[in-house]
Amino acid sequence: MKNIFIFAPVIAFFTFFMIYIAEATDVLLLNEMRLETSFKSEGDQLVLTWKPLFYPCKYRVETVSRSTGAIPNSPEYHKFIDEAAVENSYIVPSGAIPMYYLISAYGITGKVYESPAVVANPNYPEPPKPVPIYHYNIDNPASLMPFLVWHSVPEAVCYEVELLSAPPEIEGGISLSKMFHLESTQQIFTNGWQADLRPYQNQISIYWRARALGFHHEPIGEFCKAEPIIIDVNKPIPDCPLINDFDKMPNFREPLYPVYDWIPLHAKAARYEVELLDHKPPIENDTEPSPDSLWRQSTVDTASCYDEYGRPFAGDYYWRVRALDAKGKPIGTWSNSSKFTVDAYENGVEVAVFGDSISHGGGAVSYSPYALEYSYLTYLDFPAVNLSRSGDTSHTTLERFDNDVLHYRPKNLIIMTGTNSLRAPTISADSVVDDLEEIRRKCVKNDIRPIFLTLMPLNPVNIKNSFHTDTDPKWHEKLDKINDYIRKQQYYIDLEPYFYDMYNTKLDDRLSVDGIHPDIRGKKMMAEIINQRQDLFIK
């Protein structure tokens, strides 16, 4: 027995040494293997699974998106989440753009395997097509007015849904069915639609499919595979909007000025009303407004509402929405409530972003700042708090400084405002420069490093088509004067040169549908440029 104890350290050392040699030299040829991966749905979650390696190890999964490739020296991928010490399955985080997963394995001494290729999320196929989220089968039948919901297609301005009496002659494609077509609509500006199936309740079978469309209703990709709808005529018909919490980007962080999005009712509501509370409603789906609500606002927008007030105070908040008729009377009930959390920043923040709608978020005409895939902050390599507000001119941004910036005590403030001033003939470049200079002074006074972003060009034709407003013909002269001031500052990042069309005259159509707000690719480019200038920031 004594001999065993004497040799135990030697045995342990030898064992560890052999493991180290095996892992360090890859004598087992683990890196020549390929993991067999697959996806499966568990309720509303997507799970990535793989067949474990024969070698005992733990796995690490990185969730990433591809960079644009437009900015020199940018890495190939932007990392969102790094999940370590998993077995052989991974609950995929939600997202609204194509996501990829890098899988590596770790033994006792370190990494023993790295996947030679990324694994792609199947919810974003090529060519692009919506992927249904809700499935109405025997186990989950639909009412006569079900919500049809799908994963959003990046850059889609709207969608077309077709109802059919049978699967189409050819799945996919961009053409409506000639034999089985019942009806279709292209007036869908969210990734969901409440269908009215009452005219078809005696139909032997009914199917639906959707496709994404651009600004001029041109196809973006193809129709998805037709989905059957099993109907239970006795199932209650939904009579409240459906909060659009689908496809939230990873690491969601609420901007100072929240925006609330939902999928509207099929009924022709005249308005929608949003209610905000600091507690969960005692009764969900009731019909009365809460007596202690923090804020209520009605809007003619059918799918989103912008909060007019900043929400800087830490805590949990709940919001819900209901439809109103032309006389202001409720149609049905309040929606389910949705929760968001405002973080506490007791020691201030490293970086804050201050500006107008380009920084607040949104794009492709139909997407509000609620859709964080259209926020450049989503693609930054460091955390930042969004203090921007849609609709600001340079002067209204300045007016908010004391209330909205000083509360967070940022070390660094990324500043981009004045684009709305460019559009307005009544606002001069000199007044914008004066506003920016006053913001700079306030930053210096409060020990904040001001880091200015140059303004990007406009596309007046696209602005006119999208918003039915004219742009100041002298916008480019104003842009030159404002950016000349910015380039004279000690700390600035130059975005402007990257966003012109091939003729160097206006904002590239491919980067912005509406002519002013960069879409997903443009927002990624903004972040990739900023990521390369982290040397400007106070650490």
Mean pLDDT of 392-403: 98
Distances in Å between the alpha carbon of 145 and those of 150, 230, 240? 16, 12, 12
User: Would you state the structure tokens that stand for residue 482, as one six-digit string?
Assistant: 């404002």
Sequence spans of domains, the chain: 2-120, 131-238, 243-344, 345-539
Cis peptide before 141 (omega within 30 of 0): no
3-state secondary structure at position 534: helix
**pLDDT number for residue 28:** 47
CA 121 to chain centre: 16
What's the whole-number mean pLDDT along residues 130-147?
A: 95
Instruction: Give the right CATH number for 131-238 from 3.40.91, 3.40.50, 1.20.1070, 2.60.40.
Output: 2.60.40
d(CA 462, CA 465): 5
Residue in the structure block whose two tokens are 């095996």: 22
CATH of domain 2-120: 2.60.40
Model confidence over 450-509: pLDDT tens digits? Answer: 999 999 999 999 999 999 999 999 999 999 999 999 999 999 999 999 999 999 999 999
Count of C-beta atoms within a 10 Å radius of residue 45? 11
- The residue among 476 and 112 whose pLDDT is bigger is 476
Give the CATH number of domain 345-539.
Answer: 3.40.50.1110
CB neighbour list of residue 404: distance below 8 Å, 6 or more residues apart: 256, 310, 312, 354, 387, 389
pTM, two decimal places: 0.93
Q: To which residue do tokens 């927002």 refer?
A: 523
pLDDT in tens, 290-320: 999 999 999 998 899 999 999 999 999 999 9
pLDDT, residue 287, reads 94
- Residues forming a β-bridge with 492: 452
Residue 27 has a pLDDT of: 47
Contact 419, 456 (CB under 8 A): yes
Residue in 400, 326, 387 with CA at minimum distance from that of residue 359:
387
pLDDT confidence band for 76 (50 / 70 / 90): very high
Q: Are 220 and 128 in contact (CB under 8 A)?
A: yes
Q: Homologous superfamily of 243-344 in CATH?
A: Immunoglobulins (2.60.40.10)
**Are the folds of 2-120 and 243-344 the same?**
yes
From CA 287, how far away is CA 298, in angstroms rounded?
Answer: 15
Reported as a pLDDT band with limits 50, 70 and 90, residue 11 is: very low
